[in-house]
Amino acid sequence: MTRPAHPQSDPTPPDQTQPDQARHVAFDWGGVFTIGTFDGRSTGNVAERTGVSAEQVRRSYFRHVRQLEVGAWTLPQFWDTVQRESGASLPYAEFEALYLGSIHDNAPMYALLATLPPAVRVGLLSNNYPVVSDHLRARPEFARFDALVFSNEIGVKKPDAQSFAALESAMQCPAAQVAFVDDVQENIDAANAYGFHGLLYHHDRHSAFEAELAVWLAG
């Protein structure tokens, strides 16, 4: 007698990973893919170039930087304001080059990014600025990202839950399947509250972080 075919509801053998159980990862940029804070380095460089004290530059910079982070101001508009308030003076083109040149890459994180298996979806959620976000998107290393979410392009910044909703949508998979890596505890707490698996990062313990991420991705 012919044996009936197995119904399609038969369980998958336990050694096979279901696609809907796959795990993925998303990262912050500043303090994760960079060493130190971009804001601190850029304001220090501006102060040194213009001869104005770092305190004066930073007072104006941090008063208005949110306007950049949510895309309300252009970078030239921001620089005009900072110049007027701080007394610094530099043609915009020189300021932009100095600003972008203030990025200090965290090489081990870029090396890790390149080794992530193709099956792992990789995202980025960054509180970032006009011009800087365009600069990052154009870098060859960023081709590995499946989803890039910048605060200046969505009009909301971490730790607002809407930013994590935008990340989940861009990742095209549930937050519960995504580890979110950030160097700020407040953002990790917000990611966990939304449903992501938060991993706090510091470049001084990069090897330990790699081990934590490997455990997460292995399930």
Mean pLDDT confidence for 147-174? 98
Question: What's CA 86's distance to the chain center, in Å?
Answer: 29
CA-to-CA dists, residue 148 to 20, 151, 170, 171, angstroms: 22, 10, 8, 9
Quick one: pLDDT at residue 20?
Answer: 60
pLDDT, tens only, 14-56 = 343 345 689 999 999 999 999 988 999 999 999 999 999 999 9
Q: Which residues of 133-158 are buried (b: 16+ CB within 10 A; e: fewer)?
A: bebbeeeeebeebebbbbbbebebbb
* CB-CB contact of 170 with 149 (8 Å): yes
pLDDT of 10 above 60: no
Mean pLDDT confidence for 204-211? 97
pLDDT, tens only, 73-116 = 999 999 999 999 999 999 999 999 999 999 999 999 999 999 99
Contacts of 130 (CB under 8 A, 6+ apart): 68, 71, 73, 74, 75, 152
Quick one: pLDDT at residue 13?
Answer: 40
pLDDT, tens only, 126-160 = 999 999 999 999 999 999 999 999 999 999 999 99
Mean pLDDT confidence for 192-207? 97
Quick one: pLDDT at residue 37?
Answer: 87
| pTM of the model as a whole | 0.89
CA distance 116 to 100: 27
Quick one: pLDDT at residue 4?
Answer: 35
